[in-house]
Each structure stands twice: as C-alpha cells, then as structure tokens.
Amino acid sequence: MNVLCIIPARGGSKGIPQKNIKRLAGKPLIAWSIEAALAADSINRLIVTTDDKEIASVAKLWGAETIHRPSELANDTASSESALSHVMETLKKSEEYEPDLIVFLQATSPYRSATDIDAAVNLLLTGYDSVFSAYSQHFTGRWKLNTDGRACPVNFDPVNRPRRQDQPVEYIENGSIYVFKPDILKSTGARMGSRIGIYQMPEERSYQIDEPEDLQLLEKLMKHTAIAQPNTVLLQPRIPPMSMLKNIQLLVLDFDGVLTDNRVWINDKGQETVCCSRSDSWGLTQLKKTGIQLAVISTESSAVVKARCQKLGITCISNTKDKAAALSKLAVSMKIDQATIAFIGNDTNDQGALRWANISILVNDAEPCLAPLATWILRAKGGQGAIRECCDTILKANQL
C-alpha cells in the first residue's frame, strides 16, 4: 500500500514570522513532524509543500522531499485542502503517481509520534474512509457574549447545571493527524468523508503553535514528558529516496565513532586498541564488489587507522585537519563527481565534509547538533553495525 504523507508549510505566517522553522527544543518546528513521518512504518513517501525557499531547504536537510506551492495557494485565505490537491495533481502529472492513502500532518502540531501516525492509519483500515486525531473532554460549560456584553450559556442551563460525569464525552479536533482516501479529496475537496474515525491523543500532546508563547510553553512541556517512538534511539533515523542511493560511486567514512564504537583501550605501553564490527567489514567487502570506491578520512595519524584500512583494502587519508578539503582533493584524484559522493561522520569535526558531500550520513549516536546536516541518519550506532546497515541499504537500492 502506498501511503503518502504531506506536510504543508507556508512562509507567510503573521503571528510568528517563519514559524515553521523556528527552533523548538533544539530543532526547527517542522523537523518534529518530518522525523515522526519518516519513522512511521506505514508511510512510504513524505513531501513538504511550501512557497518558501528557506523552509524547503530546512525540510530537505531533515529528509523530506519538497514541492513548490504557488503563491496563490499559500496566502492567508488559501485552504490546506488546496495545498494537498496541488501536491496530488503535481505528482499525477509528473510521475503518474497516485497513493492509496494520504496522511496530512500540520507542522504546527509537533508533539505526535510515529506510533501515533501508524495507529491512525491502522484505524482507518478497520473500515473508515477518513480519520482525524483528537483529545477527549468531558462536559465544559461554554459561554458567549451577546451584543450588549452579557454572558449567555451555549451548551447548558446554569440553573440546572449538569454533573460532569453525567455528560457525554466530547472530542476536540487537535489538528495533528488526518488520514483519508484520495478519492474523498478529489470528489469533495475536503479531508473528511462519510465514515469518519477518531484517533484519540492525550490533551498534553495536542498543543498547536499559533503564538510566540506557545513555543516556550510546549518546549517546557517536552522537557518533562516524552513521546514513545518505535526503536527509540539517540537520533531519529531517516533515509533519502532509494533512487538517490543508486548514484553513489564513492563512500567515505570517518574512523573513530563510525568504524569504531568511539572507545579506545590503552595498554601499559601506551599502545591503543579499538573495537570494530566484523559485520561492518563484511558489508564494505560486498559493497566493493559492486565497483563502489571506499575511503577513510581521519584526523588521527594512528597506526590503528592505517592497519584497519589496509586490512579492509580501502584508501586511507589520515592526519588531516580539513576533511572537506581532503574529500574534495580525493574526488579530483579519483575523477569522481561530487554528486555521487557520500560521507559518513559522527562528530563536530565532520561538519565540513558533511556539508560538502552530496549525501551526508550520520551514525545514530552522532552529535545531535549535526542532525540538520544529514540526509541520512542510520539506525545503528558507530562500531555496532551502522556501516553494515549503510552498505546493505545501498546494495538494496542498486538491486531495485
């Protein structure tokens, strides 16, 4: 089943300028929704639709595809449905692509998990044509002001005030997740059909970012609560389109923390030893057989680095302070185009190389500040199968 996730993110917010890329708990606001979508097992493809180049750039850094939204579909009066329809029409026209289901996530509702998304999709598959997320609420007295300023009750008689437990439960749409069949959008122009299901979320994870103080409030809440993610790890895994991985001709690795688990043992003679994964070695061996070139670039001049590279039969560039320059020089010497080069790193001294490479990859226990630079974040940690995961995925891409 093809499930397409669409995240609309226009650039013209008046309440909070550039709201969708404002920082929230260390990440751009839109990154929270992108990460959850990429981690969801039910989603096959993710697209951010935006009229803003900066938002598009941030979305790509965090692993999403982007589609440019025309300005007339990104003004204050344009509906979300118009943006969704534009994505569908664009994909149909350019690729003949039509999904079986659409998941619509609002970037301004960041506090949802991959588990929430998968559960909402699964709920729809039980017999609904559309599903929305909401939180439940027992009776709350609602009032309105008349034209003369007097308060009048809306949903109860204050003289015979009902008990809370005697009132039916109501559900408040929280704007976080919508799942629906494409035919509904095509035929009605709406995201809701006739057989509607409700995916329940707790109220504390139903906040929407509308005003500047909302960012501060939600950040404080996030520090004291956690949302469950499947296979929870330090960084949220994400992977670029498989078509992108087919083009890799040169895979370059940092050594410490990538081919090793970032630990070092020193004996009484001052000699260093490190821990590497045989599984990683096997993956690199299989990748070499396809003709893909391999290299290690390290700031260390350690004999351990050179010995391991010699054992693996891959190019070793050690004792370098500028990895980006070393990577550029290596590409020239090998006559390999920059667009076909991938680099795997884990620490802050890898920033230059990560920016320079066309595909920038992080092991899962990499420094969190590097996440915005990565097009691919592996599930495994350095020295614990991350390189094997990378190699297997590239091999799989080349078999498609």
Q: With DSSP H G I counted as helix, E B as strand and the rest as coil, what are the percentages for the chain, rounded to 5?
A: 40, 20, 40
- Could you state, in order of their start, the residue ranges of all structural domains in the chain? 3-224, 242-399
Model confidence pLDDT, tens digit, residues 65-118: 999 998 888 887 788 899 999 999 999 999 999 999 999 999 999 988 888 999
Model confidence pLDDT, tens digit, residues 264-311: 777 777 777 888 888 899 999 999 999 999 999 998 877 888 888 998
Please give the model's pTM, rounded to 2 decimal places.
0.57
Q: What are phi and psi for residue 238, nearest 5 degrees?
A: -150, 155
What is the model's pLDDT at position 139? Answer: 64
3-state SS of 156-189?
CCHHHCCCHHHCCCEEEEEEEEEEECHHHHHHHC
Distance between CA 362 and CA 371 in Å, rounded? 8
Average of per-residue pLDDT across 248-268? 88
Mean pLDDT of the chain: 87
CATH architecture of 3-224: Alpha-Beta Complex (3.90)
Q: What Cα–Cα distance (Å) separates residue 291 from each residue in 248, 295, 399?
A: 10, 13, 14
Model confidence pLDDT, tens digit, residues 108-167: 999 888 889 999 999 999 999 999 999 887 667 788 898 888 998 887 788 887 776 666
Please state which CATH number belongs to domain 242-399: 3.40.50.1000
What is the model's pLDDT at position 232? Answer: 36
Q: Which residue's structure tokens are 């991350």?
A: 386
29-39 helix and 53-61 helix, angle to the nearest 10 degrees: 40
**Taking the C-alpha atoms of 127, 132, 135 and 140 in order, what is their torsion angle to the nearest 10 degrees?**
-100
